[in-house]
Structure 1
Amino acid sequence: MEAILMKVMASLSLATYPDANSAKIAANAVAVVKKIDAALHAVAVDVDIPDVSNALSNYLLDLPYKIQEAEATSHKRGKALLEAINQEAARAGVTLSTQELAAPPALMGDVAAKHSRYFDVCLVGWAPDNQTARMLAEAILFGSGRPTLLLPDSTDVGVLGHVVIAWDGSRVAARAVADARAFLERASTITVLTVTDEKPLPGQGIGQRLALGLRTRGLAAEAVSIQAGDSSIGTALQEHALKIGGNLLVMGGYGHSRVRDFVLGGATEGILADLRLPVLLSH
């Protein structure tokens, strides 16, 4: 019997309120799923604000109207983003399904994370001042059990031909390499990047060992060691990745959630604070 190859399914969670993703996410998300020959499921996460108004707040603040206005704005933005993705997917010949979910402001991340568990990889659009996108990304990274690919608004996601792996020999880094398989299989170049002066590493030559393992699997991989020096680890990784022409950075996402308040590791925080290229984070 002929083996059936499973098609990868990617989920895209769209921020709508109070900050919405920019329309740039449409082209970027479609470019990524086309690259890995995946199907795309795009979800607009709309805000649903519980009505806690009373007669006095109605009189003083006109609360019901403000709630209605916020929900209408969120819904309208979600519809516009889904429409842009629809057009982009049709142009690129990408299989697309869409959905709208509604959640109270404090639970939007949780709802997106639970929804994301049914897919292989999760996509989130990213802009430095978009707190809603950051909240969705953190919730999905720590709550979905799936790899989370951050797509910065500042760049056009192109070929993703040169994949850079941030490697420290840890469990989360190993998980990230496994989760990045679809990207690694299609990469023309893979660089295993180890920062040697940031923390004690579990041995000598760990980058070379991973690169050798990837070459044994038939992939074009080489290992490079760098020093972060005065730069933060997140900055050093991204700067070196860009310097060598990397299109995608793959790394473990450190941190844990304390009731929707995320405590992040240094490298993860550095990446989220200043994202310069597409980054696949795995927890």
Structure 2
Amino acid sequence: MSFKTILSVVGAKDAVSDISKAIELSTELDAHLSILAIGTALPPIASDYPVATAWIEQRQAEINALLEVRQNGEDMCRSNGVSFDTDYLYDDRFILESNLSMRALYADLVLLGDGARHDSDIRKAVVAGTVFDAHVPLLLAPAKGKSSLRPKNVLLAWNSRAEAARAAKEALHMLIEADAVHVVIVDPDSSYFKNGGEPGADIAAFLARHGVKVVVEQVASGERSVEVVLRQHALEIGCDMIVMGAYGHSRLRERVFGGVTASILEDCEFPVFFAR
């Protein structure tokens, strides 16, 4: 499946850079671009009149900033000849999640640029609403370097879990076109209920049947965290995309993501394709 509709979620900060990345990726695939500018609404304040007035004014200022982002997005898309639509949302985080989930149903891919990614409320709302609720893949595009949906050298983070398999299948058309796909297993466990007798062999065989040029790489952590190992290995092999599953806990814990997912979400110098 190719990506024909990309939903780009941007905030008020560094929006021009995020929109530029989205336009580049949409142009690369001749895809339709939906730009959604979002902001987390200030909670109501029950206080004296002057404070309440300041609260209302600040809310309006934040809405105006999103409207400006939306207008900039429209202007940039028109000047680049991109098929597009734009909208904005300003509400509390959980309503944002619900709206993002609904909108993601009509997209092949959700894009989160570096500016919006570093707003923790936006980041959490986007991941929860799209990857976890709508089960739509998410691409994190770093500020530096070129992001591409036609990567040539891919690192597939593998741990023999359903989420990792889902990510591989969602990214399959990209993996097929890549020059090399590195299936990377950190501290493999050859027991039956872990990675199997030959860790990585099963997913490598599956991918090879689809024509993927795949190599399995078993990496020892040396007591480093998994996310540090993945970043370092990605740098060593010169990959231009990391593909991985997203992992999380129950809704009762507000979807507190597992350590690897959380760390990669917060900061990674490579484009990261998440699915669950």
**What TM-score does the superposition give when structure 1 sets the normalisation length?**
0.82
Pick closer, same or farther for the CA change 1:248–1:82 going to 2, 3 Å. Answer: farther
User: Identical aligned pairs, as a percentage?
Assistant: 23
1:21–1:133 contact (8 Å) kept in structure 2: no
Which range moves more in the overlay, 146-155 or 56-65? 56-65
Q: Which deviates more from structure 2 when the two are superposed, residues 193-202 or residues 244-253?
A: 193-202
Match of 1:183 in 2: 174
Cα deviation 1:114-159 (Å, max 9, x = unaligned): 2111212111112564324422432222222111111112332155
Does residue 1:167 correspond to 2:158, yes or no? yes
Q: Counterpart of 1:161 in structure 2: which amino acid?
A: K
1:263 matched to 2:256: yes
Q: Which runs of 4+ in 1 moved over 6 A?
A: none
Q: What does residue 117 of structure 1 align with?
A: 105
1-structure distance, mates of 2:238, 2:200: 19
Contact 1:125 1:133 in 2 (8 A): no
| 1:206 maps onto 2:199 in alignment | yes
2:140 alignment partner in structure 1? 150
Q: Pick the aligned partner of 1:80 from 62, 72, 83.
A: 72
Question: Are 2:40 and 2:121, in contact at CA under 8 Å, matched by a contact in 1?
Answer: no
How far apart, in 1, do the equivalents of 2:109 and 2:51 lie? 46
Matching residue within 38, 59, 64 for 2:31: 38
* Counterparts of 1:130 and 1:49, CA distance in 2: 14
TM-score of the two chains, using structure 2 as the length reference: 0.84
Tell me the alpha carbon deviations over residues 210-252 of structure 1, each in whole angstroms, 9 at most, x when there is no partner: 2232222222111111112232211211221121011111111
SS in 2 for 1:277: coil
Contact 1:148 1:281 in 2 (8 A): yes
Where 1:281 maps in the other structure, the secondary structure is strand
- Provide structure 1 residue ranges, at least 5 long, that are not aligned to the other structure: none
2:57 corresponding residue in structure 1: 65
From 239, 242, 249, give the equivalent of 2:242. Answer: 249
SS in 2 for 1:175: helix
CA offset digits 1:148-200 (Å, max 9, x no partner): 11111233215521121111111001100111123213212211111125897
Q: Is 1:217 paired with 2:210?
A: yes
The verdict on how the C-alpha distance between 1:6 and 1:152 changes in structure 2, with shifts beyond 3 A counting, is closer
Name the CA distance, whole Å, in 2 between partners of 1:239 and 1:110: 36
- Aligned letter for 1:58? Y
Mark the runs of 5 or more structure 2 residues left unpaired by the alignment.
none
Residue among 6, 13, 21 paired with 1:10? 6
